């Protein structure tokens, strides 16, 4: 089968054991693991708040909001099925996969841009996960004397270090341990969320349905047409998952078959997102009945209830959910990306350790410095910039190379190798990326294009693929022979 081979001529500047193809016989992931990748991605504090707020902020009928959320899930499912398939087939991660289009050296450009984004948000999410631990500690021993250092109290610092060390401990034990954590965290968070929904439903009683009707009526103020609001919700949800979409091969390389990957994506995206949004809707409507306000932040709900058992359960749930998304979206990708930069010196584990060390300072300085100076806007701009790489990957694999890659050549820096191009860089891919990225970044920074911000990722990806196909249509491509 494809991918069931060893690299015959090893170039230490392009190859190490972590980047090498994983044989099908050594893969242990099925649909459940892929489902939990998406469960952990959506179940963070931010994911819940986003899902709940979509019903309140666009002034749109609730059924239309639910339809937009499901449509976004379907779109993301299609996108990741496309990027995941080649890594299932060949067993290589994203930074190796993109060598075919960008060149064996040029692949470091998208890999490092993605690494910067991942490392930044890893630090930020580590801080947010630590707030859940701080909530737990405070419930038992109090908040301390009120003194702070860099905007964090003593309890906050202890909590931050605990989370930071905990994540490294999981990561250091390898991908199987990460898989086990995700498989445990995803269902547990769901169990707690369903239990909370039932409790809220019982307490709200007969007033819950009218509260849901109020939210579903779409009576709030809306600027622009209903169609524009619908598309904005779709774009917002797609953008939420964009960080994982481009490097989904980092996960699909562990899956036993394409069928299992697609089943996991089906259950984990449109169905999972719809069900999670329904839970968020019921709980939000319940808070409207119980507290007089529609609360979209779970931490606010816990604070209003003021119950020690609920605080303990909620803190553990928030912690598990936020660590889960951090491992999926912000830890594993940079580890591979850094390993791809210097394979002979940086392993997957070492890449993860570098990620964690840099992220420690980002998380520690989040409250006092980084959140105050607009750095998140810069990192979001980087996220828009890398969108064209998605289109380039997909067009290269499906249209230019007809779904056939030469896995041996992906680890070769010989001047006559298939993916060497010019000194390891594909200038046509760079040009396609540059032109498409100009639009992506303009949609973020140019006020006149602000209306397109929600769709910037999708349009940037489409333009990247279009320009790449136009530039490569006359390029003589070496079609790899079918491998045994």
Domains along the sequence of the chain with CATH: 24-388 (1.10.4160.10)
Residue 222 pLDDT > 70, yes or no? no
pLDDT score at 194: 86
How do residues 188-213 score in pLDDT, each as one tens digit?
A: 888 888 888 888 888 888 888 888 88
Between CA 126 and CA 116 the distance in angstroms is 15
**DSSP bridge pairs for 29:** 255
Residue 376 pLDDT > 60, yes or no? no
Q: How sure is the predictor about 218, in pLDDT bands with cuts at 50, 70 and 90?
A: low
Contact 234, 2 (CB under 8 A): no
Residue 225 pLDDT > 60, yes or no? yes
pLDDT score at 268: 93
Query: Whole-prediction pTM value?
Result: 0.88
Between CA 379 and CA 116 the distance in angstroms is 8
Signed CA dihedral, 440, 446, 449, 450: sign only: positive
Q: How far is CA 139 from CA 57, 103, 133, 190, 383, in A?
A: 33, 54, 10, 23, 37
Contact 258, 2 (CB under 8 A): no
Q: How sure is the predictor about 7, in pLDDT bands with cuts at 50, 70 and 90?
A: low
pLDDT score at 239: 81
Higher pLDDT, 109 or 307: 109
408: CB partners within 8 A, 6+ apart? 5, 7, 8, 9
User: What number is the average pLDDT over the span 89-112?
Assistant: 95
Residue 24 pLDDT > 80, yes or no? yes
How do residues 124-177 score in pLDDT, each as one tens digit?
A: 889 988 888 888 888 888 777 777 888 888 889 999 999 999 999 998 888 888
* Average of per-residue pLDDT values in the chain: 86
pLDDT score at 478: 61
DSSP string, 349-389: HHHHHHHHHHHHHHHHTTTTTGGGTTHHHHHHHHHHHTHHH
How do residues 45-77 score in pLDDT, each as one tens digit?
A: 777 888 888 888 777 778 888 899 999 999 999
Q: How sure is the predictor about 220, in pLDDT bands with cuts at 50, 70 and 90?
A: low
pLDDT score at 1: 41
How do residues 241-259 score in pLDDT, each as one tens digit?
A: 887 899 999 999 999 999 9
Residue 5 pLDDT > 60, yes or no? no
Between CA 254 and CA 13 the distance in angstroms is 24
Lowest mean pLDDT among 232-236, 246-250, 429-433: 232-236
Q: How sure is the predictor about 41, in pLDDT bands with cuts at 50, 70 and 90?
A: confident
Between CA 107 and CA 379 the distance in angstroms is 20
User: What number is the average pLDDT over the span 394-418?
Assistant: 92
pLDDT score at 2: 46
């Amino acid at each position: 089968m494809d991918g069931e081979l060893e690299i015959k001529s090893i170039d230490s500047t392009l190859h190490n054991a972590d980047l090498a193809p994983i044989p099908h016989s050594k893969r242990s992931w099925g649909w459940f693991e892929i489902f939990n990748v998406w469960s952990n991605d959506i179940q963070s504090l931010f994911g819940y708040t986003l899902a709940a707020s979509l019903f309140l902020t666009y002034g749109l009928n609730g059924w239309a909001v639910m339809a937009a959320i499901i449509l976004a899930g379907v779109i993301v499912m299609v996108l990741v099925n496309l990027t995941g398939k080649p890594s299932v087939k060949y067993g290589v991660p994203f930074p190796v996969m993109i060598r075919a289009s960008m060149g064996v050296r040029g692949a470091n450009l998208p890999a490092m841009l993605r690494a910067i984004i991942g490392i930044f948000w890893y630090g930020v999410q580590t801080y947010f996960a630590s707030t859940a631990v701080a909530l737990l500690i405070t419930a038992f021993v109090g908040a301390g004397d009120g003194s702070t250092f860099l905007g964090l109290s003593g309890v906050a610092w202890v909590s931050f270090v605990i989370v930071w060390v905990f994540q490294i401990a999981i990561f250091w034990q390898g991908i199987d341990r990460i898989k086990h954590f995700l498989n445990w965290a995803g269902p547990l968070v769901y169990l707690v969320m369903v239990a909370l929904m039932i409790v809220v439903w019982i307490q709200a009683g007969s007033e819950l349905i009218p509260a849901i009707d109020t939210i579903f009526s779409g009576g709030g103020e809306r600027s622009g047409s209903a169609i524009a609001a619908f598309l904005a919700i779709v774009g917002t949800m797609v953008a939420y998952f964009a960080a994982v979409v481009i490097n989904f091969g980092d996960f699909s390389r562990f899956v036993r078959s394409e069928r299992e990957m697609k089943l996991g994506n089906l259950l984990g995206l449109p169905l999972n997102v719809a069900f999670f949004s329904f839970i968020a809707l019921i709980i939000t409507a319940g808070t409207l009945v119980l507290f007089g306000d529609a609360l979209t932040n779970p931490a606010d709900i816990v604070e209003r209830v003021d119950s020690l058992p609920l605080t303990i359960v909620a803190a553990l749930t928030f912690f598990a959910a936020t660590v889960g998304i951090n491992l999926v979206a912000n830890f594993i990708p940079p580890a591979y990306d850094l390993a791809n930069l210097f394979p002979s010196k940086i392993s997957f584990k070492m890449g993860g350790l570098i990620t964690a060390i840099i992220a420690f300072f980002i998380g520690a300085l989040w409250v006092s410095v980084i959140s105050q100076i607009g750095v998140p806007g810069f990192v979001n701009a980087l996220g828009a910039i890398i969108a064209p790489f998605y289109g380039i990957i997909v067009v290269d694999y499906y249209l230019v190379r007809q779904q056939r890659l030469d896995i041996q050549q992906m680890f070769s820096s010989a001047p006559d190798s298939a993916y060497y191009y010019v000194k390891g860089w594909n200038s046509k891919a760079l040009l396609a990326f540059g032109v498409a990225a100009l639009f992506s970044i303009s949609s973020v920074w140019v006020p006149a294009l602000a209306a397109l911000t929600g769709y910037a990722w999708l349009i940037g990806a489409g333009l990247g693929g279009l320009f790449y196909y136009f530039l490569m249509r006359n390029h003589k491509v070496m079609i790899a022979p079918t491998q045994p």
